[in-house]
Structure 1
Amino acid sequence: MAGFGAVEKFLVEYKSAMEKKLAEYKCNTNEAIQLKLVRFAEDIDNDSTTFNPEYSHQIFGDDETVFGYKGLKIILYYNAGNLSTLFRIEYASKVSENFDCVEADDVESKIREIIPPGFYTNTDDFVSLLEKEVNFKPFGTLLHTYSVHNKEAGENITYEIYKADMTCTGFREYHERLQTFLMWFIETASFIDVDDERWNYFLVFEKYNKDGATLFATVGYMTVYNYYVYPDKTRPRVSQMLILPPFQGEGHGAQLFETVHRYYISSPIVLDITAEDPSENYVKLRDFVLVKLCQDLPCFSPDKLMQGFSQDMVTEAQQKLKINKQHARRVYEILRLRVTDMGDAEQSRGYRLDIKRRLIGPYKKKQRDLAKMRRCLRPEELTNQMNQIDISMQHEQLEESFQQLVSDYRRIIERLAQA
């Protein structure tokens, strides 16, 4: 028996040691993946130009890890303009070199699922392509030009926004490379059917100088799908929008959103403009741009705002700016907060009640549902449902929602003041 206990102890210790050893070969893919937009040869070895994904679960699973490598680097470098791609995998050691019984994850095949063929694996070959970047020009039709002051460079940098489609020579291949970024920065990203002609593509480029020539770098893009609305209208719906990380926080998202919105405003067949499953950041961006567009409309004047949300606001926002009722209501709430003295008890109470009347809608629906349940549920089932619709909890959640909304609205008002 004593001998058996010693064997059992040895096996437990051995298993623990093996698990600890194998854990060293587990890598976080968000850290292992290294992305870069390359303009100059020296960018390759410049760590400050490298950025990492926010997400990798769609490729590597919910835990965003791979097994089998120490010091894993998944290199995905892109030429800044046409996005020609360098793909390499580097590591200090691989588990199969030390453990015959365990196999490393096939990282390469997973990456190949999302990057199109034609990528480079040799760094020198990739760098040699930089000479051809001077030939790269933006696709499609120029819609808008703007400049942003760069403190580091001490100068204004020019950016251009274009509308493109699949008839543009080379755009299909370029778009295949561009859309790979979606997997790393949009949580529920998916590739679109580019053969469907109802898609529109809007692209942002930076103009920069290199050896006396003007070159273009990819900044970001937006895809929009044009839905048919009976009998003779369309409803453009923003599907995906991405400003690449090196350019985030510089106002490019707002420039792109406003340019796209103005493009559709000019079309008589567009009913209104919406978005598919918008993220929290997208909603904040949309609020800012729509408030900026609406603030000078007569129906949103301070005296009209203090009278409450009206059908005139809905009509004018829709007819002049293709903004639907739901978005017009948010614009109203933000602009009314701007003209409301929240230090004045009467004005503050009026604003609070106005917002809470809208916010309470879902809770009232729950109460109506509860009334229906009373007619068809057994007593024990009804008790269970009533526990889920506790009135005091509703008031608490309502106040929390109101405070969060006001906080979000104040940030938009501050940004408007700086614009």
Structure 2
Amino acid sequence: MAAINAMEKKLAEYKCDTNEAICLKLVRFPEDLEDDSTTFHPEYSHQLFGDDEVAFGYKGLQIQLFCSAGNLTTLLNVKYTSKVTDTIDCVEPDDVESKIREIIPASSCSNTEDFVSLLEKEAKFKPFGTLLHMYSVHNEDAGEDITYQIYKAEMSCPGFQEYNERLQTFLMWFIETASFIDVDDERWDYFLIFEKYNKDGETLFATVGYMTVYNYYVYPDKTRPRVSQMLILPPFQGEGHGAQLLEAIHRYYLTVPKVLDITAEDPSESYIKLRDFVHAKLCQSLPSFSADQLIQGFSQKMVEEVREKLKINKKHARRVYEILRLHNTDMSDLEHAKAYRLEIKRRLVGPYKKNQRELAKMRKCLRPEELGNQMSQIDLQTQHEELEKSYQDLVEEYRRVLERLAQA
């Protein structure tokens, strides 16, 4: 038993956290290769390395996955200080390089010198597709405004399919349930953000992030674009690029008459916060969302105006109404605060009332013990407590949106 425990302890020394071992980098200049400050790590690696996100067989494992900043030309290097076979016979390490190569293009480099030579071609790289929007962000470190551009690309653009293959590998590291999409399906739209910068008098572009949108058919002659995947690369996060991208997409689809409204596929909490901010920002200048209209309650006029002018659906319009009404409500006034609270709770209580209606229908076919179980699940006191918590959580979310609006 002691020998087994000693062996388990020895083997444990060769386990590495793959989220720490994988080193990602967007390389602009050759000196970036040795600059640890430009390195970032995945949030997820379970799709390649299992739920434990562990690679076995190495000490000091470092999986370098470096990309040129613009064209995303890829360099893969696997380094380690020692391997399990150095000290223990008949135990094989994981083939980590083969796992990584499952998701990166076959054309990726494995030689640093070759990669550096390809960096020289970055000046020839230009964004794909049609320019939709341009904006600037002030960079405190550089002491200047940096220009960014948003493009809509087509899979038919020369070189874009190969570029997309390189770009989508980042999804695996930062979206928990990511998968590669079918590029042969023409109903996909692709939107990209690039930073525009200068080097030795030349204009270059760095990839910032992107979004994919699928156009679903809506009977009889409309489409409903659904945001599928959205990613702002870590070096650019927290600078407002996601909001710029989502707003640009709304403005683009306004030019497409057949679009009914815009939705999202299984949105994350962070995406919902982003969407709340963008929708509230866009809606606050609409006549139907003026202060005097908000105080009168949610209206069909609001629904129609946001769908016509911003491609926002009824459910999201209601959420924007609640956010902007909170902004226009004096919560220190007990009467106004109560009116707002009741307005929100009337919507939140809907699912509870639905359960009660369904229970009433089941009374005739449930045995007494089954009915008792169902009744216990909708205890009124519990409902009131859950309803109050839901209300307080929602108001806190709305306040954060309003704080961001104030800063914007």
Give, in whole Å, the separation in 2 of the partners of 1:131 and 1:73. 26
- Cα shift readout 1:262-316 (whole Å, capped 9, x = no counterpart): 0001211111011101111111111111111111111111011011111111111
Corresponding position of 1:269:
258
Corresponding position of 2:214:
225
Amino acid of the structure 2 residue aligned with 1:115: I
Amino acid of the structure 2 residue aligned with 1:261: H
Give, in whole Å, the separation in 1 of the partners of 2:391 and 2:93. 50
Match of 1:391 among 380, 385, 390: 380
Give the 3-state SS of the residue equivalent to 1:343 in structure 2: coil
Displacement of 1:28 in angstroms is 0.8
Corresponding position of 1:4:
none
Amino acid of the structure 2 residue aligned with 1:393: T
Corresponding position of 2:229:
240
Corresponding position of 1:7:
none
List aligned pairs for 1:20-419, cutoff 5 A. 20-419=9-408
Q: Which moved more, 1:383-392 or 1:274-283?
A: 383-392
Amino acid of the structure 2 residue aligned with 1:311: Q
Q: Which moved more, 1:293-302 or 1:359-368?
A: 359-368
Give, in whole Å, the separation in 2 of the partners of 1:76 and 1:161. 26
Displacement of 1:386 in angstroms is 2.8
Give, in whole Å, the separation in 2 of the partners of 1:413 and 1:101. 61
Give the 3-state SS of the residue equivalent to 1:376 in structure 2: coil
| TM-score normalised by the chain length of structure 2 | 0.98
Identity of aligned residues (%): 75
Gaps of 5+ in 2: none
Amino acid of the structure 1 residue aligned with 2:88: F
Displacement of 1:149 in angstroms is 0.2
Give, in whole Å, the separation in 2 of the partners of 1:363 and 1:266. 40
Give, in whole Å, the separation in 2 of the partners of 1:187 and 1:403. 29
Give, in whole Å, the separation in 2 of the partners of 1:250 and 1:136. 24
Give, in whole Å, the separation in 2 of the partners of 1:404 and 1:115. 41
Give the 3-state SS of the residue equivalent to 1:110 in structure 2: helix
Q: Which moved more, 1:407-416 or 1:136-145?
A: 407-416
- Cα shift readout 1:37-62 (whole Å, capped 9, x = no counterpart): 00011111111100001111111111
Give, in whole Å, the separation in 1 of the partners of 2:388 and 2:38. 44
Amino acid of the structure 1 residue aligned with 2:136: S
Give, in whole Å, the separation in 2 of the partners of 1:49 and 1:351. 47
Displacement of 1:94 in angstroms is 1.2
Give the 3-state SS of the residue equivalent to 1:375 in structure 2: coil
- Cα shift readout 1:51-96 (whole Å, capped 9, x = no counterpart): 0011111111111112111111111000000000001111111112
Displacement of 1:355 in angstroms is 0.7
Give, in whole Å, the separation in 2 of the partners of 1:128 and 1:389. 67
Amino acid of the structure 1 residue aligned with 2:401: I
Give the 3-state SS of the residue equivalent to 1:377 in structure 2: coil
Give the 3-state SS of the residue equivalent to 1:22 in structure 2: helix
Give, in whole Å, the separation in 2 of the partners of 1:231 and 1:36. 47
Displacement of 1:388 in angstroms is 2.8
Gaps of 5+ in 1: 1-11
Amino acid of the structure 1 residue aligned with 2:109: Y
Corresponding position of 2:7:
18
Give the 3-state SS of the residue equivalent to 1:121 in structure 2: coil
Give, in whole Å, the separation in 2 of the partners of 1:35 and 1:393. 48
Give, in whole Å, the separation in 1 of the partners of 2:259 and 2:15. 51
Displacement of 1:377 in angstroms is 2.0
Give, in whole Å, the separation in 1 of the partners of 2:368 and 2:55. 51
Give the 3-state SS of the residue equivalent to 1:87 in structure 2: strand
| Count of equivalent residues | 408
Displacement of 1:97 in angstroms is 2.4
- Cα shift readout 1:161-200 (whole Å, capped 9, x = no counterpart): 0000111000000000000000111111111000001111
Give, in whole Å, the separation in 2 of the partners of 1:274 and 1:235. 7
Displacement of 1:26 in angstroms is 1.0
Displacement of 1:331 in angstroms is 0.6
In the TM superposition, structure 1's runs of 4+ consecutive aligned residues that sit over 4 Å from their partners are none
Amino acid of the structure 1 residue aligned with 2:361: K
- Cα shift readout 1:302-344 (whole Å, capped 9, x = no counterpart): 0110111111111111111111000000010000000000000
